[in-house]
Every structure is written in structure tokens, then in C-alpha cells.
Amino acid sequence: MAEIKIDVKGETCPVPLVEVRKALRKASPGDIVEVTGTHSASKKEIPMAVEALGLELIDVEEEKGIWKIKIRR
């Protein structure tokens, strides 16, 4: 099981979601994709996309304007 980290801090839509989708395509079942960013709309869009894809949203946390989302493929 691998952990793939993506840093999209400072990027705005649609870049964070596009990068997450790329990482999820490369990931194997059971892998964890962790994305870190600052764009507030992406913090809402990424979990919705994860749900639509039928994947597991492990965690969403935010501290000082920087959010981190963990997804299990």
C-alpha cells in the first residue's frame, strides 16, 4: 500500500481536482492519496468527487487556511 501526496497550495479550480483525479488513476486499490491545498471551493469539490467515484474519504482537516484531504483508492 502506497501513500501519494499532492500539494496544490495556491492553485485554484479546476487544478486541485484534476491533480487528485490523476493521482487516483495511478493509485492501486488500498493506496492513500493525500492532497493539501488552500482553495476553499476545492475543499468542498474534492470530497463530492470522491463520493461520486465510490471511493473512501478518510479525513478532511483544516488548519490556518490550509486543508488536507485523505482518500483511500
- Render pLDDT for 21-68 as a digit per residue (tens, 0 to 9): 999 999 999 999 999 999 999 999 999 999 999 999 999 999 999 999
Which of the residues are catalytic? Answer: 13
- The CA–CA distances, whole Å, from 21 to 55, 63, 64 equal 12, 24, 25
Sign of CA dihedral 10, 20, 72, 45: positive
- Render pLDDT for 1-28 as a digit per residue (tens, 0 to 9): 899 999 999 999 899 999 999 999 999 9
pLDDT on residue 1 = 84
Q: Kindly report the pTM of this predicted structure.
A: 0.95
